[in-house]
Chain A
Amino acid sequence: EPEVTQTPSHQVTQMGQEVILRCVPISNHLYFYWYRQILGQKVEFLVSFYNNEISEKSEIFDDQFSVERPDGSNFTLKIRSTKLEDSAMYFCASKGTGPYNEQFFGPGTRLTVL
Chain B
Amino acid sequence: SQQGEEDPQALSIQEGENATMNCSYKTSINNLQWYRQNSGRGLVHLILIRSNEREKHSGRLRVTLDTSKKSSSLLITASRAADTASYFCATDWGPDKLIFGTGTRLQVFP
Contacts and interface: CB of A to CB of B under 8 A. Distances in A.
Nearest to A99: B30
State the main secondary structure of chain B at its contact with A.
Answer: strand
Contacts of B102: 42
Contacts, number: 59
State the main secondary structure of chain A at its contact with B.
Answer: strand
Interface centre among B33, B40, B95 (most CB of A within 10 A): B95
B43 A91 contact: yes
B43 A33 contact: no
B42 A107 contact: yes
Nearest to A50: B96
Interface in B59-106: 88, 90, 93-103
A68 interface: no
Nearest to A49: B96
Interface string A44-70: 110010100001101000000000000
Interface of A: 31, 33, 35, 42-45, 48, 50, 55-56, 58, 89, 91, 93, 99-100, 102-108, 110
